[in-house]
Structure 1
Amino acid sequence: MKRRLFLIAAASLTLPSLALAHGPTRQKVIVTAEVAADPADVWAAIGNFQDMSWHPAVHSSTGEGGNDIDATRRLVLGAEGGPTIDEVLYKYSAEKMSYSYRITEVKVEVLPVTNYSSHLTVKPRDGGGSLVEWRGAFYRGYPNNDPPEELNDAAAIAAVTGVYQAGLDALVERFGAPGS
């Protein structure tokens, strides 16, 4: 009986610490923009996985495989010799005007995320124009408990949201907002 009580007491002391010992939670971000242009025109600008020149943070984009599954690209950010992000395409549909890709390599100092995947799509907008949706799922840049501030969930969400917003803002600037 004493042994049983001891085991129950030991378990009750251990279980709360196990509940706190979980890792990070997968984060999700969705950013959308409405543009005045026809979906086909917007897709013509952003639908080539190998060409991300439409995004203001991307200095250059090179890769192999075109828009085929497992195509790769390397984004150079900012300027010649800037930081890079390597990505692979895992889903592509010109008919649905969408593609999905994963980051295969990036330094957390560049983008504070791990296990990142993203989906970009263009849809017709009610009333004309297009709705562009960019969504991603990822873990913070620090996979263990007690991350430093620059690698925590909030930093990861802010960084990804900033990337998406900058790209979509560039599309609105290029194609105009509906009704403007």
Structure 2
Amino acid sequence: MKRTLLFPLVLVAGVLLAHSAGAHGPTPQKVDETVEIKASPAAVWAVAGDFAGIAKWDAEVKASEGSNKKRVMTLKNGEKIEEEVDEYDPARMTYTYRMLAPNLKALPASSYSATLVVTPGAQGTTHVQWYARVYRGDTGNEPPDELNDEAAKTALSQLFKAGLQGIKAKAEGKS
């Protein structure tokens, strides 16, 4: 008798688990970009460590203002994003920050947190890694293409790649 009661309970539990697995919201997506720069870590940090000065080295950013605690970026499309630093450590040449409020016209993400790290590379170069966890702009179960996971990852990756190329150019004295 116990066996006949157990089977329906297992079946119901399995159906509920399968249903709830398909009904969850978005999962964090990862963006991870790197660059090797022919300059010392100190020279690279002199550029990359200027958190509020991102417009000086990221071609995707038209203007920026703030401090090493908070910045407001104006992107090329004229839209603004406000970010706040969670950790700023010049001795370790790293900072971690997050977006404070979504602006889907600026970036198709509902939230993100990112970290930039400058470390010595091989043969006198410097390695810069910029990585993030990002959530898509539409947190529903069926987001439109312009607000889905791929759109959020692509937009943030583009911002990071442009920034890394700008850091490289400035640190190597090419801009």
TM-score range, shorter chain: 0.7 to 0.9
2:11, 2:39 → 1: CA distance? 66
DSSP-derived class of the 1:51 partner = helix
Count of aligned pairs: 169
2: CA distance between counterparts of 1:93 and 1:13? 49
- 1:155 Cα deviation after fit: 1.0
Per-residue deviation, 1:161: 1.0
Can you give the 5+ residue segments of structure 1 that lack an aligned partner in the other structure? none
Counterpart residue type for residue 120 of structure 2: P
Structure 1 partner of 2:71: 73
Q: Is the 8 A contact 2:47 2:170 kept in 1?
A: no
Q: Secondary structure at the match of 1:118?
A: strand
Identity value in percent? 38
Instruction: Find 1:140's aligned residue among 136, 141, 147.
Output: 136
Deviation of 1:138 (Å): 1.5
Aligned twin of 2:82: 86
Query: Which residue of 2 is the match for residue 18 of structure 1?
Result: 20
The one of 51, 58, 61 equivalent to 2:64 is 61
Does the C-alpha gap of structure 1 residues 11 and 130 become closer, same or farther in structure 2, counting only changes over 3 Å?
closer
Q: Distance in 2 between matches of 1:125 and 1:13?
A: 52
Structure 2: stretches of 5+ with no match in the other structure: none
| Aligned residue identity for 2:59 | P
Q: State the partner residue of 1:29.
A: 31
Q: Is the 8 A contact 1:84 1:106 kept in 2?
A: no
| C-alpha RMSD of the superposition | 2.2
Higher helix proportion (structure 1 or 2): 2
What is residue 155 of structure 1 aligned with on the other side? 151
Instruction: Quickly say closer, same or farther: Cα 1:24–1:38, change in 2 above 3 A.
Output: same
Q: Which amino acid aligns with 1:108?
A: L
Alpha-carbon distance between aligned partners in 1 of 2:145 and 2:112, rounded to the nearest angstrom: 19
The residue type equivalent to 1:122 in the other structure is V
SS of 1:105's equivalent in the other structure is coil
SS in 1 for 2:132: strand
- SS of 2:44 mapped into structure 1: helix
* CA distance in 2 between partners of 1:165 and 1:9 (Å): 49
Q: Does the residue aligned with 1:50 lie in a helix, a strand or coil?
A: helix
TM-score for the superposition, normalised by structure 1: 0.84
Q: 1:9 deviation in Å?
A: 6.0
Q: Give, in whole Å, the separation in 2 of the partners of 1:157 and 1:140.
A: 8
Q: TM-score, normalised by structure 2?
A: 0.86
Partners of 2:45 and 2:16 lie apart in 1 by 54
Partner of 1:38: 40
Aligned-partner Cα distance in 2 for 1:13–1:97: 50
Q: Which amino acid aligns with 1:38?
A: S
The answer to whether the 8 A contact 2:33-2:157 is kept is: yes
CA–CA separation in structure 2 for the residues paired with 1:16 and 1:36: 52
